[in-house]
Amino acid sequence: MSKINKKNNFTYSVSGDNLEDDFTSSIDIDKQMYEEDIRGSIAHTQMLAKQQIITKKDKEKIISGLLAIKKEILSNKFEWKSSLEDIHMNIESRLYDHIGEIAGKLHTARSRNDQVATDVRMWTKKICVQIISKITELQSSFVKIAEKNIDTILPGYTHMQKGQPISLAHHFLAYYEMLKRDLNRFQQVYSSADVMILGSGALSGVNYPVDREWLAKELDFSKISNNSMDGVSDRDFIVEFINACSLVMTHLSRFSEEIIIWSSEEFQFIKISDKFSTGSSMMPQKRNPDYAELVRGKIGSVFGSLFGMYTILKGLPLTYNRDLQEDKKHLFESAATTIKCLDVTDGIIQNIKINKDTMLSSAKNSFILATDIADYLVKKGIPFRESYVIISNLTKELTKKNIMISELTINDYKKYSQYFEEDILNLSLETAIESKNSIGGTAKKIVEKALNQAKKEIKITTDQYEKN
């Protein structure tokens, strides 16, 4: 229920009942936005004075009080009160303590509805930049480990079955490409959030000559909302943000799954650093890939937040409804989880040990060159489907006899087709890889070009956001 704060003479929700206070309060969550809230209030105050809605003297007192509050928060001396519900009322109440009745002028031409919408957008933009930076760092780690393994050969898989030989660099650069799409998505989210809402009031605009263009420039927004009702109720950008988090987490989860498989005793392609693995409480011989497993597992909470946001929004009539108080929980948790998982994945990559010999042995002890042999016959003039059948029969026969392709002689080959010549014996894992020289292929010269392009892209992104 609403009551009058006798000391400060403004209205806020307070019941005296801890259950009700706890149920309606969001301060434990939205206090993360204190920087955005204070910055927005300072800009709003400056605009009010500029437009002669308040005096210069009042402006100076309000801003002085807000800066004092920020200092208290930074020094952990600020007392957050759940009875004051949210970040906005906590700060405004404290402002009364600092400067008295003049604090009441701060909220002129502003509602909590357009205030919180602006705060959340500012916060989202800030976090997008942080995540873009984290993604760029992870991309850089993938590029560095790819450069070190441009000649490392391993099997490429489809359906978890060995398919064709590839370079490990090519494999790692696949994740670089996934992250590039993720980076682009967060740039798009930044653009979606980059809309200034202040001046929309509660829902229909304000009765004062506010300068929204000035506010947008002061708060680093490139756009201004065109409709006050949409402005105070739009949370599409939060859905877009969590969707972007969900996709980058999907890619991190896929990588974690491979790391878990590759580190298993059955594969032994890699060894995860002890920094990012743990021992068993009972079995002394084991090292468990717990960090990768947690990255894989934490995606569930981000997916849940995405569904949660859709559920919150799907039944809301215009304009603001209290349901939207729940949006920040999903937003903040998704952001925190994504940032942590990006950091952990980066740490895993930087400290991983590649077992090159094991990877090479796995590729050799297989029929991984079968497709290249089929293509050999195609180049000799045999239709691919006919060639496919010939090599399928060859591999089936070799499997029965427990013979590897590398053991075949030219006479063995000719039993299956007279088109085989001595040059078939030149086929190897290395030549098979080098023959995949189409754009985007695994041939060394193609991978080197991809690495150079990746480094250029990383530099462009880094330079762009360092300037910001």
Distance (Å, rounded) from C-alpha 14 to C-alpha 255? 49
SS3 353: strand
**Cβ pair 72, 243 in contact under 8 A:** no
**Cβ pair 95, 62 in contact under 8 A:** yes
Both tokens of residue 423? 């040059």
Nearest of 334, 152, 165, 322 to residue 237 by alpha carbon: 334
Is 330 annotated as catalytic? no
**Cβ pair 135, 182 in contact under 8 A:** yes
| Pairing of the two strands 153-158 and 270-271 | unpaired
Q: Which residues, 6+ apart, have CB-to-CB distance to 467 below 8 Å?
A: none
Q: Residue 380 class from Cβ within 10 Å (0-12 exposed, 13-18 middle, 19+ buried)?
A: middle
Q: Which residues, 6+ apart, have CB-to-CB distance to 302 below 8 Å?
A: 242, 245, 246, 249, 333, 334, 337, 338
| Pairing of the two strands 223-224 and 195-196 | parallel
Which of these is catalytic: 204, 222, 264, 280? 280
Is 171 annotated as catalytic? no
Helical H runs in 314-355?
A: 327-350
Distance (Å, rounded) from C-alpha 216 to C-alpha 198? 8
Hey, which residues does 164 pair with through a beta bridge?
156
Distance (Å, rounded) from C-alpha 91 to C-alpha 87? 6
Which of these is catalytic: 159, 301, 330, 362? 159
Supply the DSSP string of 275-303, one letter for each residue.
GG-EE-SS-TT-EE-HHHHHHHHHHHHHH
Supply the DSSP string of 169-218, one letter for each residue.
HHHHHHHHHHHHHHHHHHHHHHHHH-EE-TT-TTTT--SS---HHHHHHH
CA dihedral angle for residue 304, residue 258, residue 178, residue 223, rounded to 10 degrees: 30
Distance (Å, rounded) from C-alpha 159 to C-alpha 123? 42
Residues annotated as catalytic (active site), given as ranges: 159, 280
